[in-house]
Structure formats: structure tokens, C-alpha cells
């Protein structure tokens, strides 16, 4: 008997299969993770095979997999492309299979097979994931590692040797869920953002884990399957097919899904069968496979050796024990920073000195961890202090603040700035890198006047660093910096996201790069990523303070120094600076008499049994999201948390709230709709019996031009049915229906069209709007985004719409009534028989209604502005209508701003048309022109400030944001970038921080004005 050996060397694991001369599986090696030690683990696997089988009986050894080609070249062995190998293996164990869902460590694929008359398979179609590895094995690994602390609690320390156990427990916990919580899975950052938000609201880990897997399946359907029809039998293969929770999630979409035997090793089986079929003969020597074979063949881009020359780095970050006072107790103030990955507290005395601190993992349980910290504080210094006041900050500040009945809840930008300035009042720049967020803060006269947080990518954050260190089996504390600083020639790595960077590290390692050089290179990559993606072109001063967990890493401090060629201040206690700033801020409030001492017993708070019951939110009768709520019992005090809109978690603002002008805009929009033609979703009664219903999706262009669309069909005597406001189901359906990767607003549009497709609407109005009216100056084009222009084509293809139901004219709105009427008339389906003059009249009357709405908005805006205090700040919110006025996309921004006592006007209330835009000649984008004109008005008004709402992957906005910032460079704007994730906490943090920045800018302007007045008076005398 002879044998053929196949090895599938992937990005995460090594799988091996041995087949006998009859093509039967003689041996399958256990699934093995290689943790980047590819050559070493491959050598061990081959040695084991040679111990089990007589080498003389082995005809061939062949390779496949993402890392297999490198090994095959080193051993001069055959290599088979993994896609072919996977299909060969699957068709062997599951003859007749038609569709293969393949998900491995960093790859996801779909193979659709057809068979000829001789029953030989051929690829009918296939699709692979983009370079982003979200939804793959590494993606799930990351989430399991992050939740391990929450799962096990205590002093659990994550390392790669425990990963398989963690994954088993992770999946088992998810199988206990009562329902899958909503988790966005398009990108690991969205996923973490949603999961942290859910944890902070008290959602159970089992429901979060289930939601992660259901989101992963939905993401696969959206990005890989698209609108393809999967023929049965459908098989699920690859390492992820071991995951019972993901199998369950896929079976909701494909009930007959099969997980074949040997599903993790089918690539290895396929390459062995291919070698056998082709009669390949070769031998390999496992003992010759070592690192030396991979060296010297490649040259790497190198960076300078890491050295710390300009900055002082004190390795001793400890505090002296608190001494008992000679008489009485120490009056103390407590600040707690509840971050995404770690929770810190800082206790200060009346002089503002830190007298006690602690830094622990959040473990996804903010309240429980806060209780543990209080217990520790009481045990350590409880008898020596008299606690006067408590403040909270960080992503969990609201829920923990509510639990503690905190005296002050502040955003982390303000907190870090407050603490840093106390340490050194001369600083002008703060770099802060946390577990999930990176922040840049510009300081002027001891106050923050500009800031930015990482928008989407978490590359370069603390969790990014921790995950990559874990992948390489390196202890992040001590060992990491020692290795980095000892590396002679750091590899110059690219700035990449966590999953990409992991691939790069593995790839470089296999080409001979030394581990030490890669770790040092990682320090440089983190710094460059932070500077290029977070700081961008913002001013970096000469007195820079570096804060956050990674600032404890000497290697990263050295990298900042070398890249900037400036000294970096790394103060003592920098890891608790947010908590320190919070303690100082609450002390200041106490000293000014704004807050009074509350009765607090640390022992009682630490011992309170926290429990909750679940309920469905019914607060808004017009909202149909049915959000899950957690109703907590904090020792007899009720507290409600949950929901997507932030209703229950906007930071507590005592006293007044401002008007919600977003809500007003919606009311004015509805007033200009033809109420006598609108079909009610509940009754579905036609207000005009016997006449057809035209369905209009309330998304994209309709959020501005819906008045025109509805009034046209009303004037033609038809009934009009708008799709309901975007909810979770509409958004999810849209995401799952996509045939191409687009921005979130386009996905939501698909959901609205699908909703209408299943309604009684006789026709669907899906125009192709090409441009919008603009002031006639300097060749302004007024063009809409290509995604909006072509939205109808995408939806028609993705949802396989019945074209006989569609009304889809191409409309040049810039060209006016006659052009619109002509094109609409030509696009009317045979069932709608109107004369051209009737259409012309209907368009003319509807256009008047649309323009009336515009004038009403601007008139109302003038009234609002004239009634405001001209010295009080006004936030003008710009953006595309489909972001500004869809409450799911904007996360109820109007409500959040109003609750925070902020006067915020959507840009439609501002008359910007007279603003000259000649310094941006031949402006191409119609909505871009409006946004920049509004920005110019904001720049002219001393008390106006700009907030721009955009969405991830918006091409036009990627240009416009730079122009927007340039126009407002004297008053830094706030840019909010949103996407599929529904967590509102990050938006609230940015809003609260910007509110503080606005106050500081106004104070600074007032001081300058007073100085000028004094100077003028002095000159006059």
C-alpha cells in the first residue's frame, strides 16, 4: 500500500490528510494552530506522519493553503491552489455538492458547482472576501479573546495556549442565549463598538455572543453570497465549520446546510488526491525545514533602531502608601474611568494629589468591576478617608455613574485634558491611546480647543497591541518593550488594521524576518498609524504628553520620539490620567458649592446585589424597533438602560434642554406632503379608492425630494405609500440583500425598497436622480453621488424586482420642471395612462410645494436664529439629507443634542445660497456645494460652530471633509462618522467633548475681545 500526503498550511492552522492508493483517508491529523511558527509546526507535522507511515511507502507530499506555497517552494514540493483543493476534497466526501461555504482563519469564500454529463464538477461561480478578514476565524478569535475576561473574571490571563478552551467556552455560552443581540459585523471596530455598548448596557454575554455569530452570517450573505441563489446540497467547510453557533446562524438561512466529515482538512485531502491523480512522486526531509531556509532570500524595508534619547521614562510608576493623618481623616475625591478594556480609579486629596489608584480589566462587566474597585478602595484606605464626591468618565461612565449616583459624569476628552494640565500646565498637545479609542487633544491656555478621536479603525489602540502580542505569544507587560528595544533592525511595517497586520507579521516571518525586528517594527507602525489616521494634518506642538495604557510601553514612547524628533512627556500615573482629571473636576465642582456631600458607604455600594429584568421599550408609539431594555435594581433604586436611540443613556444634564430642530424639520416636511393621498401602513386603506398605489422608499433622495415625488403622484390622482421610518429589520434586510459593497445609506435604501416590494403597492417609484439645482456660478455641476444615481439599478438587480411595477425615470433636477416632466412621462409604465400635459401640470404644482418647503425651512431658520442670544453657541449640522434626517442613520442626533442643552440647527434651516463659492471653482458635487457654503457661513459667525455628519466609506465626503476643515480652521469642526453599528456611546463622547471645546473657544474669544477693547481705550486716552 502506498500513500499520498496533503498539508493545508493556512493563516491560522495546519491540517494534514493521508490517503491510501484507493483514495481513502488513512489518517487525518488533529487540527493544529501554528501561532505564526509555520515552519516549525509544519516540520513537526511531517515528522509525525513519517513516524506513523513508512517513508518508503509515501509517494508524494503536497501543499495547499495561504502559507503553503512558501513551504512547498522551500521543500521543492507540489502546491495546489487552495480553492481547487477545497472543492476536490469536498466533492470526495460529499458527492454531488452544489454550494460550498468556506470560512477559514482569514479567508471566506463561496463556491458554486455544476456537473457535466460525465458527473465531473466545474466551477459555475465563486466569490472571495475582500482583504478585510471580518467574519473569518481570526475575527471570531479576537472577540473571544476580548470577552475572555468577562467570561472567566478574577485574575484570568489570556494566552494563546488557552485559546481553544476559550473558544469552546465562548461558543457554549453563546448557545445558551435567549435572543441574538444586534451586532454589526462588517468591521471588527464596529463589532467591538456594538459589543462594548451592549455590555455597558448590561446585555448578557450569551446574547452578545449569539448576536456576533448571527451578524457574521448576515455579513457573509451580504458581502459574499449577495443575490446568488445557493443550490442544494449546501456544505459548510473550513475551521469555522467547527463552530456550532455559526452553523446554527447559517441554518437560519439554509436549513439543509451540511457540515461534512473532515471539514477542517478538506483542503489537505484535495491536494493529496490531486497529486495521486496526476501521479506525482516526490520526497521531503522534515528535518531540513527550519528558519535558516527562509532567511537571506528577501530584503525588508528597515527602520532605525529604537532608542530613547530626548524623553524621560520613569519605570517606577508606583504611589507611596497613604499615611494615616495625625487627626481625623483625609477629605478625598474619587474619579473612576470605565473604559472599554480597562477600568481605573484615582483618589485625590484636597491639594489635588493622587493618594491611591488602581488599574484593572473591565471584563465587559462595568458595574461589577466598579464594585470590586470600591471594595478594594475600602479595604486599602477606607478608614483613612472621608469621601466627599465621586465622578465618572469613559465609555461606561453613564451606567456606572448612575449606579454610584455620581456627582459628575464627564467625557474622557475633558477628563484627560484636565488631568494632564494639572500635571504640566505648559503642555500644548496630548496623545492618548486607550483600549478601543485613540485621541488627539490640542491645548491652549490650559484648555482643550480641538480634539479628534479615531473614527473607524482601531489599529494602533491598546487592544490592537494586546491582540497582536497574544498572537505571537509575547507578554505585553515588560517582555514586549524589552524585545522591541533590543531589536537591531526593525522591519518597516505598513499601517494596517489588526487582521491585516497579523497577516503581514506572518508573511514577513516566513520570509526570514526575526521576531524581535517585527516587534520593534510594530511600535513604529502603531505610531505612524496614530499620526496619519488620527492626528492627520493637525498641529503638533512642542510640549507633547503621551497618555493611556500603551504609554507604559517604553518601545512605543521611543517610536514617538524618533518619528517626531521631539521629546515626549510620559508623566507618572499616566495610565489613570482620565480618572485623575475626573477627580479634579468633581473636586472643583465641590469647592465651588455646585455639589454637596452625599451619604455614601463604600462597603454598602460594593455589596449591593445588582439585578435586572428585561422589557421591551414602548416609550414612543411611533417607534417600531422594539428595543430590549434592562431595568436594573440598584439596591432598591430603579434604573433603565438599553435601546438604540440613547433615550436612557444621554449624560445627565440637570435643568433645561433645548428644542429638537431635527424633529421640527420632520414636522415641516410632513406638512408639505399630500395628506389626502397618503396610505396608512396600519389600515392600508386607499384614501382614493380604485386608484393604484405608488410606493416611495423613504431613503436616500426621498429624504429631501420626497415632497416633490409624493405631490406629483397626488396631483395625478394616485395613492402614495411611503416606506416606514428605518428600523432594525429594514436595515438588516438591506444589508443582507446587497450584491456589492456600498455605504450604509445605500444598504438601508435596499431595505426600504424590499419592504415596499412586499407591500400592496402597485408601483414602486425608483428614479435615477442625476443632479440638483445649484446657484448659477462658475460652472457648478450639482451632481449627486454615483451610488444615489444608480441606486435603482442596484436594488432592481439585488432584489430581483418585477420591472413591470417600476417607475424609474432619469431625472435632471437641475434642469427644472420641463425636463423632469418629460423624463417622467416617458418612464410611466403602460398601466398608468396619463397625457403629457397632465404630467407637466402635476410636476409644476409639486415643484411649487417642494420650493415652499425650502422657503418655509429658511424662514423658520431666520426666526430661530433671531430669537437666540447672539453670544450663545449655535451648532450648525451639515451632511447629506439621508444621513441628517434618517433617525436610524443619525442615531437620533437631534434628540441627543437637545438633551445635552445644545442649540443645533440642521443645515436646511440656513439660507446659504447667496454665499460665494468661487474659491472652489467648478464644484462637481451638488450636496458638497451646499455643505461648503454652510461652512463659510459658520466661519463668518463668531458663535456658530460646525458639525458634519457623514458615513463610513463616503467617497465625496472623503474630499469634502478636508475642505470643510480648511474653511473652519479657526473654529475646529466636529466630524461624526457613522455606519452600521448602533452604539450611541461614541457619538455622545464626541458631542460632550466638543461642547467643552466650544465653551473654551468662546471664553478665549471673549478674553481677546476684552484685551482689544482695553488696548483701544488705552490708545484713545
If we measure between CA atoms, which residue out of 284, 283, 273, 277 comes closest to residue 64? 273
pLDDT in tens, 914-932: 898 888 888 899 999 999 9
pLDDT in tens, 219-263: 888 888 877 889 999 999 999 999 999 999 999 999 999 999 999
- Output the pLDDT for position 27: 96
If we measure between CA atoms, which residue out of 236, 169, 240 comes closest to residue 10? 240
Which stretch of 870-884, 934-948, 972-986 has the lowest confidence by average pLDDT?
A: 972-986
- Output the pLDDT for position 479: 85
Are both 3-94+261-288 and 137-252 of the same fold? yes
Average pLDDT on 866-875 reads 90
Q: What is the pTM of this model?
A: 0.77
- Output the pLDDT for position 652: 47
Q: Binning pLDDT at 50, 70 and 90, where does residue 651 land?
A: very low
Which of 324-333, 680-689, 715-724 has maximum average pLDDT? 715-724
Average pLDDT on 302-329 reads 85
More confident residue, 195 or 904: 904
- Output the pLDDT for position 133: 60
- Output the pLDDT for position 653: 47
Average pLDDT on 805-812 reads 96
- Output the pLDDT for position 190: 65
| CA distance linking residue 391 with residue 660, whole number of Å | 28
CATH class of 302-410+570-608: alpha beta
Q: Parallel, antiparallel, or unpaired: how do β-strands 330-338 and 768-771 relate? A: unpaired
Average pLDDT on 64-84 reads 91
- Output the pLDDT for position 160: 61
Q: Binning pLDDT at 50, 70 and 90, where does residue 852 land?
A: very high
**pLDDT at residue 5 greater than cutoff 60:** yes
- Output the pLDDT for position 643: 65
Report the b/e string of 950-989 with b at 16+ CB within 10 A: bbbbbebbeebbebbbebbeebbbbbbbbbbbbbbbbbbb
Contacts of 28 (CB under 8 A, 6+ apart): 15, 16, 17, 18, 262, 265
Average pLDDT on 124-135 reads 77
Cα Rg of the chain (Å, integer): 31
Q: Where are the domains of the chain?
A: 3-94+261-288, 137-252, 302-410+570-608, 452-568, 662-851, 857-1008
Which stretch of 470-474, 747-751, 837-841 has the lowest confidence by average pLDDT?
A: 470-474
CATH fit for domain 452-568, picks 2.40.50.840, 3.30.420.40, 3.30.360.10, 3.50.50.60: 3.30.420.40
Strand partners, 385: 330
Q: Binning pLDDT at 50, 70 and 90, where does residue 525 land?
A: confident
Which stretch of 597-606, 846-855, 871-880, 996-1005 has the lowest confidence by average pLDDT?
A: 597-606
Topology of domain 137-252 in CATH is Nucleotidyltransferase; domain 5 (3.30.420)
CATH of domain 662-851: 3.40.50.11890
| CA distance linking residue 697 with residue 695, whole number of Å | 7
| CA distance linking residue 854 with residue 772, whole number of Å | 13
- Output the pLDDT for position 40: 86
| CA distance linking residue 705 with residue 908, whole number of Å | 13
- Output the pLDDT for position 212: 92
Average pLDDT on 616-643 reads 72
- Output the pLDDT for position 708: 97
Contact by Cβ (8 Å): 508, 70: no
**pLDDT at residue 42 greater than cutoff 70:** yes
Contact by Cβ (8 Å): 504, 510: no
- Output the pLDDT for position 297: 47
Q: Binning pLDDT at 50, 70 and 90, where does residue 777 land?
A: low
Average pLDDT on 967-973 reads 88
Average pLDDT on 132-150 reads 77
- Output the pLDDT for position 655: 53
- Output the pLDDT for position 12: 84
Average pLDDT on 84-108 reads 93
Topology of domain 3-94+261-288 in CATH is Nucleotidyltransferase; domain 5 (3.30.420)
- Output the pLDDT for position 658: 86
- Output the pLDDT for position 128: 86
Backbone φ, ψ for residue 433 (5° rounding):
-120, 115
pLDDT in tens, 370-414: 999 999 999 999 888 999 999 999 888 888 998 888 999 999 999
Share of the chain above pLDDT 90, in %: 54
Contacts of 894 (CB under 8 A, 6+ apart): 660, 661, 662, 663, 887, 904, 906
Domain 857-1008, second-level architecture: 3-Layer(aba) Sandwich (3.40)
Write down the residue that cell numbers 466638543 correspond to: 994
- Output the pLDDT for position 153: 66
The per-residue pLDDT of the chain, averaged, comes to 87
C-alpha cell at 459: 489599529
Average pLDDT on 795-814 reads 94
More confident residue, 182 or 581: 581
**pLDDT at residue 316 greater than cutoff 60:** yes
**pLDDT at residue 296 greater than cutoff 60:** no
Contacts of 821 (CB under 8 A, 6+ apart): 836, 839, 840, 842, 843, 844
More confident residue, 311 or 1007: 311
What single string gives the DSSP state of each residue in 274-329? HHHHTT------GGG-SGGGGSSS----B-PPP---SS---S----PPPPPPSSS-
If we measure between CA atoms, which residue out of 45, 47, 49, 85 comes closest to residue 64? 85
Length of the chain counted residue by residue: 1021
Q: Parallel, antiparallel, or unpaired: how do β-strands 693-696 and 719-722 relate? A: parallel
- Output the pLDDT for position 552: 87
Amino acid at each position: 500500500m502506498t500513500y499520498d500526503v496533503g498539508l493545508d498550511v493556512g493563516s491560522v492552522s495546519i491540517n494534514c490528510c493521508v490517503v491510501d492508493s484507493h483514495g481513502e483517508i488513512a489518517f487525518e491529523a488533529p487540527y493544529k494552530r501554528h501561532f505564526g511558527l509555520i515552519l516549525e509546526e509544519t516540520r513537526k507535522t511531517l515528522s509525525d506522519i513519517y513516524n506513523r507511515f513508512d517513508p518508503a511507502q509515501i509517494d508524494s507530499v503536497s501543499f495547499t493553503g495561504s502559507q503553503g506555497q512558501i513551504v512547498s517552494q522551500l521543500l521543492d514540493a507540489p502546491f495546489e491552489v487552495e480553492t481547487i483543493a477545497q472543492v476536490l476534497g469536498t466533492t470526495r466526501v460529499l458527492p454531488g455538492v452544489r454550494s460550498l461555504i468556506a470560512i477559514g482563519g482569514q479567508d471566506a469564500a463561496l463556491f458554486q458547482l455544476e456537473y457535466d454529463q460525465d458527473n465531473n464538477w466545474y466551477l459555475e461561480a465563486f466569490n472571495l472576501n475582500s482583504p478585510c478578514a471580518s467574519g473569518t476565524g481570526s475575527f471570531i478569535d479576537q472577540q473571544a479573546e476580548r470577552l475572555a475576561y468577562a467570561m472567566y473574571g478574577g485574575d484570568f490571563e489570556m494566552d494563546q495556549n488557552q485559546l481553544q478552551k476559550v473558544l469552546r467556552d465562548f461558543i457554549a455560552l453563546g448557545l445558551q442565549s435567549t435572543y441574538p443581540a444586534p451586532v454589526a459585523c462588517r468591521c471588527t471596530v464596529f463589532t467591538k463598538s456594538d459589543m462594548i455598548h451592549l455590555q455597558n448596557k448590561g446585555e448578557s454575554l450569551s446574547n452578545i455572543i449569539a448576536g456576533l455569530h448571527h451578524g457574521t452570517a448576515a455579513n457573509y450573505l451580504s458581502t459574499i453570497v449577495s443575490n446568488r441563489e445557493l443550490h442544494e446540497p449546501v456544505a459548510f467547510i473550513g475551521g469555522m465549520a467547527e463552530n456550532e453557533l455559526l452553523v446554527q446562524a447559517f441554518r437560519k438561512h439554509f436549513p439543509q446546510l451540511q457540515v461534512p466529515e473532515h471539514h477542517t482538512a478538506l483542503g489537505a485531502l484535495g491536494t493529496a488526491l490531486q497529486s495521486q491523480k496526476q501521479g506525482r512522486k516526490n520526497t521531503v526531509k522534515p528535518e531540513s525545514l527550519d528558519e535558516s531556509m527562509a532567511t537571506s532570500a528577501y530584503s525588508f524595508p528597515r527602520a532605525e533602531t529604537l532608542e530613547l534619547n530626548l524623553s524621560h521614562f520613569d519605570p517606577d510608576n508606583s504611589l507611596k502608601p497613604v499615611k494615616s493623618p495625625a487627626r481625623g481623616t483625609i477629605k478625598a475625591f474619587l474619579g473612576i474611568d470605565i473604559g472599554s478594556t480597562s477600568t481605573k480609579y484615582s483618589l485625590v486629596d484636597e491639594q489635588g494629589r493622587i493618594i491611591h489608584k488602581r488599574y484593572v480589566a473591565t471584563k465587559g462587566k462595568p458595574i461589577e468591576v466598579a464594585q470590586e474597585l470600591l471594595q478594594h478602595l475600602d479595604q486599602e484606605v477606607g478608614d483613612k478617608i472621608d469621601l466627599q464626591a465621586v465622578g465618572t468618565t469613559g465609555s461606561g461612565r453613564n451606567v456606572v455613574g448612575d449606579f454610584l449616583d455620581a456627582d459628575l459624569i464627564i467625557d474622557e476628552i475633558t477628563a484627560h485634558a484636565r488631568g494632564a494640565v494639572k500635571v504640566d500646565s505648559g503642555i500644548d498637545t496630548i496623545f492618548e491611546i486607550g483600549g478601543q479609542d485613540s485621541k488627539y487633544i490640542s491645548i491652549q491656555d490650559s484648555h482643550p480647543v480641538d480634539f479628534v478621536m479615531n473614527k473607524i479603525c482601531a489599529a494602533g489602540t491598546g487592544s490592537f497591541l494586546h491582540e497582536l502580542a497574544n498572537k505571537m505569544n509575547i507578554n505585553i507587560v515588560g517582555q514586549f518593550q524589552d524585545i522591541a528595544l533590543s531589536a537591531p533592525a526593525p522591519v518597516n511595517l505598513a499601517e494596517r488594521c489588526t487582521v491585516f497586520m497579523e497577516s503581514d507579521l506572518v508573511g514577513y516571518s516566513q520570509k526570514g524576518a526575526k521576531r524581535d525586528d517585527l516587534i520593534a517594527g510594530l511600535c513604529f507602525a502603531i505610531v505612524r498609524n496614530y499620526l496619519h489616521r488620527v492626528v492627520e494634518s493637525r498641529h503638533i506642538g512642542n510640549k507633547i504628553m503621551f497618555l493611556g495604557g500603551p504609554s507604559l510601553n517604553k518601545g512605543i514612547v521611543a517610536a514617538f520620539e524618533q518619528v517626531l524628533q521631539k521629546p515626549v512627556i510620559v508623566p507618572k500615573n499616566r495610565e489613570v490620567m482620565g480618572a485623575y482629571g475626573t477627580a479634579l473636576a468633581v473636586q472643583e465642582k465641590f469647592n465651588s458649592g455646585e455639589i454637596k456631600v452625599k451619604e455614601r458607604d463604600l462597603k454598602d455600594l460594593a455589596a449591593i446585589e445588582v439585578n435586572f429584568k428585561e422589557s421591551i421599550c414602548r416609550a414612543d408609539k411611533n417607534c417600531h424597533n422594539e428595543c430590549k431594555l434592562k431595568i436594573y435594581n440598584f439596591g432598591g433604586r430603579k434604573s433603565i438602560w438599553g435601546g438604540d436611540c440613547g433615550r436612557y443613556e444621554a449624560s445627565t444634564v440637570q435643568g433645561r434642554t433645548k428644542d429638537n430642530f431635527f424633529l421640527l424639520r420632520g414636522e415641516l416636511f410632513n406638512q408639505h406632503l399630500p395628506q389626502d393621498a397618503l396610505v396608512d401602513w396600519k389600515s392600508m386603506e386607499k384614501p382614493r379608492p380604485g386608484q393604484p398605489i405608488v410606493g416611495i422608499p423613504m431613503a436616500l433622495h426621498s429624504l429631501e425630494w420626497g415632497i416633490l415625488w409624493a405631490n406629483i403622484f397626488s396631483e395625478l390622482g394616485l395613492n402614495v405609500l411611503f416606506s416606514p421610518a428605518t428600523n432594525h429589520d429594514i436595515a438588516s434586510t438591506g444589508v443582507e440583500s446587497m450584491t456589492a459593497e456600498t455605504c450604509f445609506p445605500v444598504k438601508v435604501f435596499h431595505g426600504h425598497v424590499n419592504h415596499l416590494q412586499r407591500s400592496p403597492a402597485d408601483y414602486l417609484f425608483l428614479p435615477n436622480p442625476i443632479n440638483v439645482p445649484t446657484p448659477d456660478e462658475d460652472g457648478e455641476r450639482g451632481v449627486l453621488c454615483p451610488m444615489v444615481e444608480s441606486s435603482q439599478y442596484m436594488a432592481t438587480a439585488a432584489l430581483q424586482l418585477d420591472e413591470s411595477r417600476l417607475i424609474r425615470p432619469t431625472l435632471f433636477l437641475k434642469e427644472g420642471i420641463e425636463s423632469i416632466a418629460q423624463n417622467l412621462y416617458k418612464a410611466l409604465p403602460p398601466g398608468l395612462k396619463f397625457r403629457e400635459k397632465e404630467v407637466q401640470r402635476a410636476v409644476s404644482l409639486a415643484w411649487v410645494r417642494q420650493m415652499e418647503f425650502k422657503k418655509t425651512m429658511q424662514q423658520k431658520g431666520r426666526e430661530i436664529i433671531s430669537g437666540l442670544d447672539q453670544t450663545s453657541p449655535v451648532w450648525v449640522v451639515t451632511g447629506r439629507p439621508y444621513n441628517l434626517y434618517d433617525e436610524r442613520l443619525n442615531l437620533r442626533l437631534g434628540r441627543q443634542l437637545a438633551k445635552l442643552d445644545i442649540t443645533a440647527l440642521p443645515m436646511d434651516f440656513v439660507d446659504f445660497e447667496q454665499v460665494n463659492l468661487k474659491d472652489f471653482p467648478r464644484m462637481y458635487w451638488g450636496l458638497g456645494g451646499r455643505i461648503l457654503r454652510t461652512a463659510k457661513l459658520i466661519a463668518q459667525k463668531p458663535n456658530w460652530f460646525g458639525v458634519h455628519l457623514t458615513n463610513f466609506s463616503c467617497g465625496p465626503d472623503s474630499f469634502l471633509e478636508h475642505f470643510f476643515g480648511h474653511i473652519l480652521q479657526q473654529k475646529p469642526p466636529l466630524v461624526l462618522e457613522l455606519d452600521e453599528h448602533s452604539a450611541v456611546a461614541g457619538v455622545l463622547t464626541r458631542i460632550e467633548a466638543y461642547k467643552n471645546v466650544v465653551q473654551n473657544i468662546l471664553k478665549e474669544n471673549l478674553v481677546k475681545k476684552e484685551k482689544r477693547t482695553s488696548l483701544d481705550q488705552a490708545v484713545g486716552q
